[in-house]
């Protein structure tokens, strides 16, 4: 199986040993505690689940700036986005050797992790703007990723962590949330050697489904891992439980047995376009995928990124940096001429009118009115789940 990024073995930071877990939980009760931001909590979950291998905790300011500028930590590890514990009030950590990190997203704010405090640093406005500009390609406060980043505070608390739970993800998504270790184990159990991963934060329409079939066929893959984001999204995005139901129905009806896994991970969307595409590739390698689909405007939002920037960024990464291979895809749509879904770049004799193309706004309007999109756009069984959701909003 493909090696994880940066090490021979996967090293998740979750404390699996029951005795150690019990001792750490008991110790945490007596430690100074701080409330994480939602982004800080998501980083802890990803570190605990092994997706951020080989990181051992939160980065310091020098590493965050180095990663933002060069996609490498100060000691040379390739990494595309800063992994930070930012806060507006660092008084709890000042002078402390160890602190307990509380979960902002679960009622009662249980301890999510215990942290060895290495440094407490205050980032300047210039440093925060530099990190935002390099990571998101903009400092525009209207960008949802920039807005979330800037709202966290300016104090950087760095150090290694030990993770005690996976926040709300295991409880709310017991059939879908999986750690990188669990996905690796299931890939091995299924006997898959060549595995392609598909990232989604949305339900999958027919074009997405066919893109997955295309990638599997062209790459000669044994299996597909549909890996959906289960964390915080921007306003208006479809909630994870609805996406989960829609995707599971599609796989049940339109994929052969033992060809596709439906899984999810606990992370808040960054909307960082190209940089987030590289991050997605890193943690897909960590979970055991050999290939990763990157389509048009991957992880983008608004008009901040060019249509294929998220593919082009990989051309500048030195050979051997990542073992996972990228399957670059164009926009896919139903061809009225060919009566099937095609990549638009592979149909040079087509005009825009030869494709069935619907805007997201138009699709939402149709679903909200109880009108199913055409079968050339969406499977009827999937459309029904989405119609039920949109109509429930008006009930």
Tokens coding 183: 């996905």
Q: Which distant-in-sequence residues (6+ apart) come within 8 Å of 144 by Cβ?
A: 234, 269, 271, 301
* CB burial string 74-105: b at 16+ within 10 A, e below: eeeebbbbbbbbbbeebebbeebebbbbbbeb
Residue of 11, 154, 202, 364 with catalytic role: 202
Strand segments, DSSP code E, in the chain are: 33-35, 57-58, 86-87, 98-102, 111-116, 119-122, 155-163, 195-200, 223-229, 260-265, 291-294, 325-328, 332-335, 340-343, 355-356
Q: Is 202 designated active site?
A: yes
Residue of 201, 218, 243, 339 with catalytic role: 201
Tokens coding 369: 């009115």
Strand pairing of 223-229 and 86-87? unpaired
Task: Judge whether 324 and 358 are in contact, CB under 8 Å.
Answer: no
Write the DSSP symbol of residue 238: P
Evaluated on CA atoms 79, 88, 240, 189, the torsion sign reads positive
> Which residues are part of the catalytic machinery?
201-202
């Amino acid at each position: 199986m493909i090696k994880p990024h940066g090490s021979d073995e996967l090293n998740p930071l979750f404390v699996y040993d029951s005795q150690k877990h019990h001792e750490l939980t008991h110790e945490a009760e007596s430690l100074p505690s701080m409330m994480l931001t939602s982004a800080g909590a998501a980083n802890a979950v990803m570190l605990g689940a092994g997706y951020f291998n080989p990181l051992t905790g939160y980065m310091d300011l020098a590493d965050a700036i180095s990663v933002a500028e060069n996609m490498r930590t100060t000691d040379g590890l390739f990494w595309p986005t800063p992994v930070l514990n930012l806060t507006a009030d660092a008084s709890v950590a000042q002078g402390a050797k160890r602190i307990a990190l509380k979960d902002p997203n679960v009622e009662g704010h249980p301890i999510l992790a215990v942290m060895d405090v290495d440094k407490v640093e205050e980032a300047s406005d210039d440093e925060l703007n530099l990190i935002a500009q390099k990571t998101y390609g903009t400092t525009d406060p209207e960008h949802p990723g920039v807005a979330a980043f800037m709202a966290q505070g300016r104090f950087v608390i760095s150090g290694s962590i030990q993770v005690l739970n996976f926040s709300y993800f295991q409880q709310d998504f017991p059939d879908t949330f999986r750690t990188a270790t669990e996905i690796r184990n299931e890939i091995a159990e299924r006997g898959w050697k060549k595995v392609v991963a598909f990232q989604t934060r949305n339900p999958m329409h027919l074009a997405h489904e066919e893109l997955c079939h295309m990638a599997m066929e062209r790459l000669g893959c044994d299996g597909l891992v549909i890996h959906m984001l289960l964390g915080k999204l921007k306003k208006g995005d479809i909630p994870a439980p609805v996406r989960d139901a829609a995707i599971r129905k599609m796989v049940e009806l339109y994929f052969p047995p033992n060809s596709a896994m439906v899984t999810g991970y606990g992370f808040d969307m960054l909307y960082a376009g190209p940089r987030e595409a590289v991050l997605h590739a890193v943690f897909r390698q960590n979970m055991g995928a050999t290939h990763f689909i990157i389509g048009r405007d991957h992880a983008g939002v608004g008009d901040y990124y060019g249509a294929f920037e998220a593919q082009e960024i990989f051309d500048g990464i030195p050979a051997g940096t990542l073992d996972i291979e990228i399957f670059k895809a164009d926009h896919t749509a139903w061809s009225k001429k060919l009566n099937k879904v095609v990549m638009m770049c592979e149909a040079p004799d087509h005009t825009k009118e030869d494709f069935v193309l619907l805007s997201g706004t138009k699709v939402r309007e149709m679903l909200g009115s109880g009108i199913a999109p055409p079968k050339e756009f969406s499977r009827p069984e999937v459309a029904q789940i989405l119609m039920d959701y949109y109509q429930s909003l008006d009930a």
